Amino acid sequence: MNDKQFRSKSRLQTIVFVRSGLADYVKRYKFINVVREGGGVKKADGTAQRMPHYSNVFPFEVFDNPAYNGQSIPKDVIELSCGIMRRQSVSWKIQTQERNVCRKFGHVSKLYISIGPHQVPIVYRSEYNVSFVGLEKLHPFDATKWRHVFQYLKDAGLVNEETVAKPNEATVEDLLLVHTKQYLDSLKWSWNVATIAEIPLIAFVPNFLIQSCYLRPMRFQTGGSILAGKLALERGWAINIGGGFHHCSSNKGGGFCPYADITLLINFLLKYEQQHVKSAMIVDLDAHQGNGHEHDFLKHSNVYIFDMYNCGIYPRDVQAKNAIRRKVELYNRTEDTEYLYKESLGEFHPDILIYNAGTDILDGDCLGLMAISSEGIVRRDELVFMKAHQRKIPIVMLTSGGYLKKTARIIADSILNLNQKGLISKKQTFSRHNQMDLTIDIVLMTDM
- Rounded Cα distance between 281 and 273, Å, is 16
- The three-point CA angle 401-403-407 to 5° equals 85
235: closest CA among 95, 383, 432? Answer: 432
Q: pTM of the predicted model, to two decimals? A: 0.74
Considering only CA atoms, give the Rg of the chain: 23
Residues 286, 289, 292, 293, CA torsion sign: positive
Question: Among residues 199, 221, 176, which one has the least CA distance to residue 400?
Answer: 221
With H, G, I as helix, E, B as strand and everything else as coil, classify residue 121.
coil
The pLDDT, as a whole number, for residue 143 is: 78
Question: What is the DSSP secondary structure assignment for residue 259, as one 8-state letter?
Answer: S
Q: What is the pLDDT of residue 137?
A: 62
From first to last of its 448 residues, the chain has per-residue pLDDT tens of 443 333 333 333 333 443 334 444 333 333 333 333 334 444 444 444 443 333 333 333 333 333 334 444 433 333 333 233 333 332 333 333 334 456 544 567 999 999 999 999 999 999 999 887 665 565 556 778 999 999 999 999 999 999 999 999 999 999 999 999 999 999 999 999 999 998 888 899 999 999 999 999 999 999 999 999 999 999 999 999 999 999 999 999 999 999 999 999 999 999 999 999 999 999 999 999 999 999 999 999 999 999 999 999 999 999 999 999 999 999 898 887 655 555 676 778 899 999 999 999 999 999 999 999 999 999 999 999 999 999 999 999 999 999 888 999 999 999 999 999 999 974 554 443 333 222 222 222 222 2
Residue 103: the pLDDT is 56
For domain 102-440, the CATH architecture is 3-Layer(aba) Sandwich (3.40)
Catalytic residues: 247
| Termini Cα distance of the chain | 49
The whole-number pLDDT of residue 180 equals 98
Contact 352, 306 (CB under 8 A): no
Query: CA quadruple 273, 174, 187, 368: dihedral positive or negative?
Result: positive
Domain ranges in the chain are 3-93, 102-440
